[in-house]
Amino acid sequence: MKVQGKMFLWLAVFILIMGIVYGVWSKEPAGTTALFMGFGLSIMIGYYLAFTARRVDQLAQDNKEADVADEAGEVGFFSPHSWQPLSLGVGGALAFMGVVFGWWLLYFSAPLIMLGLWGWVFEYYHGENRTQ
């Protein structure tokens, strides 16, 4: 985590310098404000990562002598056969098309999104996988 903390703090310094240069040259308040807000967000994330890195065990990425295999292990469980993202994707696409073509498309997209969310949450509570 030390590496990520340093990266975000260096990013914050870069964004601050660019925000000052952009603000002086352009005199445009919206972009200058956005850059300074990006600076603040980078500082917050960098401080959190650096603060947390002092309190956790050293990770393999912080050890200069570490191999790639030192960080190997189970990443997580990912469903190999889920159809729910398709329903969420189609419903989301229809919802965003509703902004362009008319809000009436939300009547078709909302049930697809709700069906996809319901199916994704309760995917392993029915059928052959209900006991896992």
Residue 127: the pLDDT is: 67
Residue 48: the pLDDT is: 95
Residue 97 in this model has a pLDDT that exceeds 70: yes
Question: How much is the pTM?
Answer: 0.54
**Per-residue b or e along 28-59, where b marks 16 or more CB atoms closer than 10 Å to that residue's CB:** eeeebeebbebbeebbebbeebbeebeeeeee
Q: What confidence category does residue 11 fall into, taking pLDDT thresholds of 50, 70 and 90?
A: very high
Q: What is the average pLDDT score of the chain?
A: 88
Q: Are 94 and 129 in contact (CB under 8 A)?
A: no
What CA–CA distance (Å, rounded) separates 22 from 24? Answer: 6
